[in-house]
Structure 1
Amino acid sequence: MADSRICFVTNDTPAADEAADRLRARYGTCAIEDADIVVALGGDGLMLQTLHQVMDSNIPTYGMNFGSVGFMMNDFSEDALDERLAAAQRTHIYPLSMTVLDASGETRAALAINEVSLFRSTYQAAKLQIIVDGEVRLEELICDGALLSTPAGSTAYNLSAHGPILPIEAPLLALTPISPFRPRRWRGAILSNRAVVKFVVREIEKRPVSAVADNVEFQNIQEVTVKEDRSHRAILLFDPGTSLEERVLIEQFRF
C-alpha cells in the first residue's frame, strides 16, 4: 500500500480540513478519479456521500471519524496510515434501487446504501399499500411513513424506528413502519434480499408523501418500487477487529 494513490476528502469542518492537510503533506494526494483508495475524514454522512461518488469504480473507502457517531468510520490517527490501509478488512455493500412514479406521471430513480424511506409531507398521516413480489401483503398502513433497509443501514434510521438489526452478510432486508397508527401492532417484516417491494400511496392529493433514497428526495409520489441492485457495489475498509460485521453484532447487545 506504500505506492497507493490516496485521495483525502473531508466534511469541511476546520478540524477535519486541518488533519487532511497534514495527511496530504505526509502521504501525498491525488484526484478522486485517479485514486486507489479514498480516505474520508468526517462522519457517517460523509461516508455515504463518498460511497455514492465512488460506487462501481472499485475504489475502496477508508473512513476516519471526525463526526458524531462514526459507525462506518475508523479511529483517527495520522501515523502508519499505509500499514493500516494494507491490513484493513473489506466489506462489500450492495445498494437498493428506488424507482419512483410521481403525481405528474414522471418516473425517477436513485440508489440507497442505507435505506429507502417514505414520509408524510403534511399533518395528514400517510396511507400506504404494501406489495411484495406482486402480492398485496398489507392493504393499508396508516402511518408517518415506512422504510426498507439494507443490512448496512439496519443500525441507522431503521433501528431508531424500532426495526430489526440485520447481520451485515445476511441476504435480508428490513421493512419497518414509521409511527404506525393502523394496524397499530404491526412492527414490520424481514424479507429476502431478492424481494421486490412496492409502496402505493393512497389519497395522494390529500395525503402527499415523499420518498428518500439516502439523501435524494422526490416529492408528491404515487408509487415507489424498491429492490436490491447487485449491479452496483461499494467497498468499505475497516481496521482488523472493527469490521462492520463486528460493529453490527456489538450493536445487538447494547442496552
Structure 2
Amino acid sequence: MKIALFPKVATEETKKLARKVIDFLSQKGSAIFVEDDKAKELDAPLLSSTNLKEIDILITMGGDGSILRVAHTYSEMEGAILGINLGHLGFMADVQVSEMIPCLEDLIEKNYTIQKRGMLEGISKSGQTFFAINDCVLHRAKNPSLVEIAIYVDDLLLNHFEADGIIIATATGSTAYSLAAGGPIISPEIDALVLTPICPHTISNRPIVISPKKEVRIEYVSEKEPIECVSDGLKHFEMKPKDHVILKKSARTFNLVNLKRIDYFSTLRHKLGWSGKLR
C-alpha cells in the first residue's frame, strides 16, 4: 500500500506522533511518502519522489481544515483520505489520537469502506472555475451593511433578499459554516445541497435543502462595493455588482476512508456535546 502522509511538525509532540505513524505503517509493509516541506524533518521519503496517481491512501494529521487543504492542493491524487484529528471540532478528521494505532491497524487490514461524497463545482461570470468539498460562501466583504442577492434554481427565481451573504453547502459542509448560520445537519450519505442565508434581514428567510441535480445561480444585485466568493475557505475571488456565480454538483467525488469502528452519529454526539440529560 502506498500512503501519502501530511503531518504537523510545529511541535515536538506532533513530530513524535508523525514518526509513530511512519514507523507503524512502514513495519506493516506500506510505502510512506511525506509532503516535501515536512519530509526532511521526519527523515522520510519525499512525496514528489513518487507518482501521485499511484497513492492509495492520504493520511492527514490536523483537523478538517487540513483535509480541505490537502484535497485542494493535491486535487490530482485519487486516493481516499483518512484524517487523524489533532484539533477539536473535526467531523471528517474523525480518528482520535488515543485510537490512532488501532485505526491504522484497521487500515492495513482493510477494515474500512470508501465513502464517496458529493462535491460542488462552480464558474463565475468572468470564467473563473472552482470546486468545493464543504461550501461556497458569498459574503459582503468590505460592505458595512447588508447586500442584495438573488438566487435562481434551474433559472427559476427562488428568492431575492438582503443579508450578509449566503452559504451553499454540501452534505459534508452542513456541519461547518452552514451549521453555525442555522442550517440543518445533513447525513453525509444523502446527496443534497443546503442554501443557508447569513444574517438575513427578513427572519422568514430560512435555509432550504435542494436536489444536487439542480443548477444554482446567485447574482449580486446591489450597487455597492464588491463582495467575495470563497470556496472551502481557500479560494477567493471578487464579485462586482451584476456579477453572478453558477454552482452545480461536480462529476468528481471526495473520497473518505470510513473505518468500521467509527460511526458518523457517535462523532456527532461527541463533537456537538449531545450527552443526554442536562443534569
SS at match of 2:182: coil
Counterpart code for 1:10: P
Q: 1:84 aligns with which of 79, 90, 106?
A: 106
Q: Select between 13-22 and 167-176 the one with higher mean Cα deviation.
A: 13-22
Change beyond 3 A, Cα 1:68–1:81:
closer
Q: Which residue of 2 aligns with 1:210?
A: 228
Q: 2:213 aligns with which of 178, 182, 194?
A: 194
SS at match of 2:123: strand
Q: Which residue of 2 aligns with 1:155?
A: 175
Is contact 1:55–1:232 with CA below 8 Å preserved after alignment?
no
Change beyond 3 A, Cα 1:186–1:251:
farther
Change beyond 3 A, Cα 1:110–1:218:
same
Is contact 1:16–1:42 with CA below 8 Å preserved after alignment?
no
What's the CA shift for 1:112? 0.4
CA distance in 1, matches of 2:220, 2:254: 31
Spell out, residue by residue over 1:163-200, the C-alpha distance to the aligned partner (whole angstroms, 9 max, x if none). 1111212231101100001x331112110111111111
CA distance in 2, matches of 1:68, 1:248: 13
Higher helix share: 2
Change beyond 3 A, Cα 1:68–1:252:
closer
SS at match of 1:47: helix
- Cα RMSD between the aligned structures? 2.4
Q: Select between 147-156 and 69-78 the one with higher mean Cα deviation.
A: 69-78
Residue identity (%):
24
Is contact 1:117–1:146 with CA below 8 Å preserved after alignment?
yes
SS at match of 1:219: strand
Count matched residues.
244
Q: Which residue of 2 aligns with 1:71?
A: 91
CA distance in 1, matches of 2:269, 2:114: 17
CA distance in 1, matches of 2:88, 2:265: 20
Change beyond 3 A, Cα 1:6–1:171:
closer
Q: Which residue of 2 aligns with 1:100?
A: 124
- The TM-score, its normalising length taken from structure 1, stands at 0.86
Q: Which residue of 2 aligns with 1:8?
A: 5
CA distance in 2, matches of 1:197, 1:60: 28
Counterpart code for 1:223: H
Counterpart code for 2:245: V
Change beyond 3 A, Cα 1:178–1:172:
same
Counterpart code for 1:124: S
Q: Which residue of 2 aligns with 1:37?
A: 57
Change beyond 3 A, Cα 1:51–1:78:
same
Q: Which residue of 2 aligns with 1:52?
A: 72
Is contact 2:149–2:219 with CA below 8 Å preserved after alignment?
yes
CA distance in 1, matches of 2:9, 2:65: 12
- Any unmatched runs of 5+ in structure 2? 27-31, 34-46
Change beyond 3 A, Cα 1:117–1:16:
same
- The TM-score, its normalising length taken from structure 2, stands at 0.79
Change beyond 3 A, Cα 1:194–1:252:
farther
Change beyond 3 A, Cα 1:245–1:52:
farther
Q: 1:23 aligns with which of 9, 21, 24?
A: 21
The structure, 1 or 2, with the larger RCO (C-alpha pairs under 8 Å, 6+ apart) is: 1
Counterpart code for 1:131: Y
- Any unmatched runs of 5+ in structure 1? none
CA distance in 1, matches of 2:273, 2:66: 27
What's the CA shift for 1:63? 0.9
CA distance in 2, matches of 1:81, 1:241: 8
